[in-house]
Structure 1
Amino acid sequence: MVDPVTDPFVEVLFHLFVGVGLGALIGLEREQSESGGTFAGSRTFPLFALYGALVAAFFPTSISLAIGVLVVPLTVAYAGKIWYEQDIGLTTLIAALLTALLGATAMHSDTGAVVAIIVGGVITVLLSVKDPIHEFADQIEETERRASVKFIVVVLVVLPALPNHSLDVLYGLNPRFIWLMVAFVTGLGFVAYVLAQFLSPERSIAVTGIIGGFVSSTATTVSMAEKTVQNERLYHVCAFAVVTASIVMFPRALIEVAVINPDLFLSAAVPLGAMTLVGVVAAGTLYWRTTTDETIEPNELNNPFRLRPALLFGTIFAVVLLISEYAHEWLGTSGVYATAFLSGLADVDAMTITLSKLAAEGTISTEVATTGIVIAAIANTIVKAALAWLLGTDRLGRRVTIVLGLVVVSGLLLLAI
């Protein structure tokens, strides 16, 4: 007797349901947004998905021909849409073709069904956030746009061209790995930068600190310190933003560890998680004493997609990687810790990625890598407190130092255990 769960017919029906369901989801979005017009809507898009699914199920070798055939009526309908509605937008047409491909992908395999669900969700989100995306694009200045384009082009062109092996002329460094890490770290900052435009951080000091921490906790500290000089009454809200941005540095480091060396994650999560928890509790106390809505504006955060800072980070990362390797070889564990502290004064990301990589290669132990990352985080936290004192008011300096001091002490206690 055939198990109903594994019955091939039931499996085909399930994949068919996924494909048609995704088509219905996209169709509803097109009809509700009135973007499809007379071109296509809640009934037509499921049919597109069903068309692709049936072809993939019973005529898999003809899928390319089937999509080509579908292009013909879509082209005619698109031409009519332009003629009658004076609308030359291609979004709905492309969505229709993608919907047919989603139906085919859902029928391909279990993995295909998962991919179709993910891609279908992304398509629906992109279609539904038309206005916010256009508003975001309009907010970007021409200089910012050019900087982003140049950076993306350089990443896409340079990355594949770089050798993916150690070079003696670079003292054993792997150029592609270094540039990949530049793109990764900068990408983290850019995601936060984009979120800042959508989430309107001017309405929430908590979001200000979080976004600022992912884009640049140092820049956020400097900005908040300058605000207190301009208006001393803002020291509470500015202190909270500085503290939050500094605390975000710890989970950001954990994300980098998880990507570079997943085996190191649990070891690093204990001290960094504890420091985050202590910081959150202390920052929460500070938050309840904050009575103003004044905060940093989104345009005060610079777009991380800039070539010069990216190249600077790449240089710092390469130098830190070399120094860490040689310091461990010549001075042992103490050399790694000294390098971690000095590097952490300027940048935590470079040291976090370096130690994660060295631990993955077996050059240093998990314990040494974890301790080094914590030391770098502590050093950078000390710098934030120093900046608050040097560039801000005494009140800002005291509050930031008290809160971040608790974080540093908790980290030192964990290292001593």
Structure 2
Amino acid sequence: MVDPLTDPFQLVLVRIALAFGVGALIGLEREQSESGGTFAGSRTFPLFALLGALAGAFYPAAFPVLLLAVALPLTVAYGAKVAMEGDIGLTTLTAALLTVVLGALVTHSERGALVAVVVAGVVTVILAEKGAIHRFVDRIDEQERRASVTFVLVAFVVYPVLPDRAIPALFGLNPQFVWLMVVFVTGLSFAAYVLSRVLGARRGIAVTGIFGGFVSSTATTVSMAERATDSPVLYRVCAFATVVASIVMFPRALVEVAVVNRSLAPQVAAPLGLMTGVGVVVAAAVYWRAGAAETAGVDVENPFRLRPALFFGVVFAAVLLVSEQAHAWFGASGIYATAFLSGLADVDAITITLSRLSGDGAVSREVATTGIVVGAVANTLVKAGLTWALGTRKLALVVTAVLGVVSGVGLLYVFLV
């Protein structure tokens, strides 16, 4: 029996069928939403995808000409639709052209087929969630809009123009790598912010703690401490939100490790995963004791500001240089001291630094793992200190007890296992 994954003819047929499915997915959404109207719907979009798939499989060099040939009658049809229905929206027209391109991607290569399926899913969601997207945009004020535009400029304009090499005048630092880490860390916070605005941070304490932790665990801790001071009866649920925001730091750090040095991730996953698991169990117990009547929320603001982003870049560069020198002069003990001091201010910098140094062979995986845990523990101590300084005694006792257990578990693992 011929394997369809190895036989060229059957493989083409499978890819063409997949392209048809991609077009049908988008076409069904357009017809169900009645956005296509008389322009295009559940039958037309699969045909667009098939056209692109056949061109991509048999006439790839002529595909630009084909796309232009399709665009011309689509433009005429769009003009007729505007004249008949008075609808000047370009969404369906754009989706139609994109469907032709996706069809060609499916038959281009295996990677192209995967990209086409993913993009088709994203496009379908964007088309289907028109109302939610417009409501989200309407809620964005001018300050948030400027911050979002600034983030896009920093991520896609500044990064490409920076030199991708070690600069002697900067003590051997690579400016593009440092800026990439700035974009990456702020991007995590920005993505969590967008999700929090879509889902609503006031829907529950768990959402508040999780998104608040990704955006800024320190800001969430301060907010919960102030809330507990204003309403002492809410101290347990405020403690839950504070603990959850602090615990989110551990999987966030693991994501950073996986991006910078994938080979280090399995070793770091053990202590950070254990700390996360213990923290979740204890935090759940705190939430259960709080009772369903206690609720609180926190407004999550756009986390991206240019000055803090630049400050993080400076901190990251400094920690990178200091860590290298501390290891050269004092060995592992120098790394741990640097990790603790750096973790008091920011855990992202030391996490990315040690991941990079371990990947370059400058420090061992064991030292890097221990240093990351030490930095995370130092950061949790800061959260506990903030609750003592700004919150109530009951809040501080609960937060300190939970984070103390979590920190102790992590330290015991890395130093004894």
Superposed pair shares fold, TM > 0.5: yes
Task: State the distance in 1 between where 2:118 and 2:171 align.
Answer: 42
How do 1:110-129 residues align onto structure 2 when only pairs under 5 Å count?
110-129=110-129
- Asked if 2 retains the 8 angstrom alpha-carbon contact of 1:48 and 1:96, the reply is yes
Q: Which residue of 2 aligns with 1:295?
A: 296
Q: Which residue of 2 aligns with 1:170?
A: 170
- Asked if 2 retains the 8 angstrom alpha-carbon contact of 1:165 and 1:174, the reply is yes
- TM-score, length-normalised on structure 2? 0.97
Q: Secondary structure at the match of 2:304?
A: coil
Distance 1:367 1:5, change over 3 A: closer
Task: State the distance in 1 between where 2:378 and 2:121 align.
Answer: 42
Residue 2 of structure 1 and its aligned partner are, at CA, apart by: 4.9
Task: State the distance in 2 between where 1:5 and 1:263 align.
Answer: 31
Q: Which residue of 2 aligns with 1:411?
A: 410
- Asked if 1 retains the 8 angstrom alpha-carbon contact of 2:4 and 2:11, the reply is no
Task: State the distance in 2 between where 1:354 and 1:6 align.
Answer: 45
Q: Which residue of 1 aligns with 2:313?
A: 314
For residues 194-224 of structure 1, the C-alpha deviation after alignment (integer angstroms, 9 at most, x for no partner) is 1101222312111111111111100100000
- Asked if 2 retains the 8 angstrom alpha-carbon contact of 1:320 and 1:350, the reply is yes
Residue 8 of structure 1 and its aligned partner are, at CA, apart by: 2.5
Q: Which residue of 1 aligns with 2:78?
A: 78
Q: Which residue of 2 aligns with 1:228?
A: 228
Task: State the distance in 2 between where 1:206 and 1:221 align.
Answer: 14
Q: Secondary structure at the match of 1:289?
A: helix
- Give me the CA root mean square deviation: 1.2
Residue 305 of structure 1 and its aligned partner are, at CA, apart by: 2.4
For residues 121-146 of structure 1, the C-alpha deviation after alignment (integer angstroms, 9 at most, x for no partner) is 11111111111111111111101101
Q: Which residue of 2 aligns with 1:11?
A: 11
Task: State the distance in 2 between where 1:3 and 1:42 align.
Answer: 32
Distance 1:56 1:416, change over 3 A: closer
Q: Which residue of 1 aligns with 2:253?
A: 253
Q: Which residue of 1 aligns with 2:106?
A: 106
Residue 51 of structure 1 and its aligned partner are, at CA, apart by: 1.2
Task: State the distance in 1 between where 2:19 and 2:347 align.
Answer: 45
How do 1:330-341 residues align onto structure 2 when only pairs under 5 Å count?
330-341=329-340
Task: State the distance in 2 between where 1:359 and 1:317 align.
Answer: 16
How do 1:73-222 residues align onto structure 2 when only pairs under 5 Å count?
73-222=73-222
- Asked if 1 retains the 8 angstrom alpha-carbon contact of 2:327 and 2:335, the reply is yes
What letter corresponds to residue 223 of structure 2 in structure 1?
S
The range that moved more, 367-376 or 305-314, is: 305-314
- Asked if 2 retains the 8 angstrom alpha-carbon contact of 1:203 and 1:295, the reply is no
Q: Which residue of 2 aligns with 1:29?
A: 29
For residues 68-123 of structure 1, the C-alpha deviation after alignment (integer angstroms, 9 at most, x for no partner) is 00011110111111111111111110100000111111111222211211111111
What letter corresponds to residue 177 of structure 2 in structure 1?
F
Distance 1:2 1:375, change over 3 A: closer
Task: State the distance in 2 between where 1:391 and 1:290 align.
Answer: 21
For residues 284-324 of structure 1, the C-alpha deviation after alignment (integer angstroms, 9 at most, x for no partner) is 11010122352224xx2221222111111111111111111
Distance 1:334 1:2, change over 3 A: closer
What letter corresponds to residue 338 of structure 2 in structure 1?
T
For residues 2-59 of structure 1, the C-alpha deviation after alignment (integer angstroms, 9 at most, x for no partner) is 5555332221110000101100000000111111111111111011111111222222
Matched length: 415
Task: State the distance in 2 between where 1:404 and 1:322 align.
Answer: 30
Q: Which residue of 2 aligns with 1:67?
A: 67
Where do 5+ consecutive residues of structure 1 fail to align? Answer: none
Q: Secondary structure at the match of 2:34?
A: coil
- Asked if 2 retains the 8 angstrom alpha-carbon contact of 1:203 and 1:293, the reply is no
For residues 163-202 of structure 1, the C-alpha deviation after alignment (integer angstroms, 9 at most, x for no partner) is 1111111111110000000000011111111110122231
Task: State the distance in 2 between where 1:290 and 1:37 align.
Answer: 52
The range that moved more, 348-357 or 304-313, is: 304-313
Q: Secondary structure at the match of 2:53?
A: helix
Residue 254 of structure 1 and its aligned partner are, at CA, apart by: 0.4
What letter corresponds to residue 362 of structure 1 in structure 2?
G
- Asked if 1 retains the 8 angstrom alpha-carbon contact of 2:201 and 2:300, the reply is no
- Asked if 2 retains the 8 angstrom alpha-carbon contact of 1:50 and 1:103, the reply is yes
How do 1:390-405 residues align onto structure 2 when only pairs under 5 Å count?
390-405=389-404
Task: State the distance in 2 between where 1:141 and 1:314 align.
Answer: 27
- Asked if 1 retains the 8 angstrom alpha-carbon contact of 2:346 and 2:379, the reply is yes
What letter corresponds to residue 323 of structure 1 in structure 2?
V
- Asked if 1 retains the 8 angstrom alpha-carbon contact of 2:49 and 2:104, the reply is yes
What letter corresponds to residue 91 of structure 1 in structure 2?
T
Q: Secondary structure at the match of 2:6?
A: coil
1:361 and 2:360 correspond:
yes
Distance 1:393 1:7, change over 3 A: same
Q: Secondary structure at the match of 2:290?
A: coil
Q: Secondary structure at the match of 2:64?
A: helix
Q: Secondary structure at the match of 2:194?
A: helix
Task: State the distance in 2 between where 1:311 and 1:334 align.
Answer: 29
Q: Secondary structure at the match of 1:294?
A: coil
Residue 381 of structure 1 and its aligned partner are, at CA, apart by: 0.5
Residue 343 of structure 1 and its aligned partner are, at CA, apart by: 0.3
- Asked if 2 retains the 8 angstrom alpha-carbon contact of 1:106 and 1:114, the reply is yes
Q: Which residue of 2 aligns with 1:48?
A: 48
Distance 1:280 1:59, change over 3 A: same
Task: State the distance in 2 between where 1:350 and 1:13 align.
Answer: 50
- Asked if 2 retains the 8 angstrom alpha-carbon contact of 1:204 and 1:293, the reply is no
- Asked if 2 retains the 8 angstrom alpha-carbon contact of 1:15 and 1:107, the reply is yes
What letter corresponds to residue 121 of structure 1 in structure 2?
G
Residue 151 of structure 1 and its aligned partner are, at CA, apart by: 2.4
Task: State the distance in 2 between where 1:233 and 1:301 align.
Answer: 23
Task: State the distance in 1 between where 2:393 and 2:224 align.
Answer: 13
What letter corresponds to residue 355 of structure 1 in structure 2?
L
What letter corresponds to residue 57 of structure 1 in structure 2?
A
Task: State the distance in 1 between where 2:294 and 2:132 align.
Answer: 24
Task: State the distance in 2 between where 1:261 and 1:208 align.
Answer: 30
